Amino acid sequence: MNSNATLIGSIISVSSTSAVAELSPDVSSGLLILSGRSYRVGQVGSFVRIPQGYNDLFGVISESSETSLEKEQIGFASNKRLIKIELIGESIGYCFDRGISQYPAVNDEVHLVLEKDLKIVYGEQGEHLFSIGTLSSSDSIDINIDLDKLITRHSAILGSTGSGKSTSVASLLRSIVTDQDGKPNKSSRIILVDIHGEYSKALKDIATVFSITPAEDEELLSIPYWAVSPDKLLDFLCGTLNEVNKNAILEKIKEEKKMAITINHIENIDPEKINSFTPLPFRLKKIWFDLVYKDTITVETKADISTPSYRDEHSKGDPIQLIAPIFKPPGTGSTPPFSFGTHALTRQLELMRTRLLNNHYSFFLEPGDWNPDANGIIKKDLDHLLQQWIGHDKPISILDLSGMPSSQFDMLLGAILDILFESALWGRNLKAGMKNRPLLLVLEEAHRYLSGNNNGLAKDMVQRIAKEGRKFGMGLMLVSQRPSEIDETILSQCGTLFALRITNSSDKSRVKSAMSDGLSTIIDSLPVLRTGEAIIVGEAAKLPSRCRFKLPPANGYPDSKDPLVSKQWGKKVQEESYVKLIQSWRINKPLKEEE
Residues 187-196 pLDDT 10s: 899 999 999 8
According to the model, what pLDDT value does residue 317 have? Answer: 93
* Mean of pLDDT values over 467-490: 92
Burial class (CB in 10 A: 0-12, 13-18, 19+), 256: buried
Q: Note whether 124 and 96 are within 8 A (CB).
A: yes
Phi and psi, residue 472, nearest 5°: -115, 10
Question: What does the DSSP assignment read for 435-503?
Answer: TTS-EEEEETTGGGT-STT--SHHHHHHHHHHHHHHHHTEEEEEEES-GGGS-HHHHHT-SEEEE----
* Mean of pLDDT values over 167-187: 88
| H-run or E-run covering 87 | strand 82-92
Task: Dump pLDDT digits (tens) for 49-64.
Answer: 999 988 899 988 888 8
Look up the pTM and report it. Answer: 0.85
* Mean of pLDDT values over 361-382: 93
* Mean of pLDDT values over 462-475: 93
Percent of the chain with pLDDT over 90: 41
Residue 577 pLDDT more than 90?
no
According to the model, what pLDDT value does residue 249 have? Answer: 93
Q: With cut-offs at 50, 70 and 90, classify the pLDDT of residue 313.
A: confident
According to the model, what pLDDT value does residue 71 have? Answer: 52
According to the model, what pLDDT value does residue 510 have? Answer: 83
Q: Which residue ranges form the domains of the chain, and what is each CATH number?
A: 3-123 (no CATH), 132-206+394-557 (3.40.50.300), 230-361 (no CATH)
Q: Please report, in angstroms and rounded to a whole number, the separation of the first and last CA atoms in the chain.
A: 66
CA dihedral 389, 392, 396, 401 (to 10 degrees): -30
Which of 42-46, 266-270, 366-370 has the least mean pLDDT? 42-46
Question: What does the DSSP assignment read for 249-312?
Answer: HHHHHHHHHHHHHHHTT--S--GGG--TTS-----HHHHHHHHHHHHH-EEEETTEEEEE-BSS
* Mean of pLDDT values over 112-135: 82
How far CA 197 is from CA of 171, 202, 460, in Å, comes to 17, 10, 24
According to the model, what pLDDT value does residue 72 have? Answer: 54
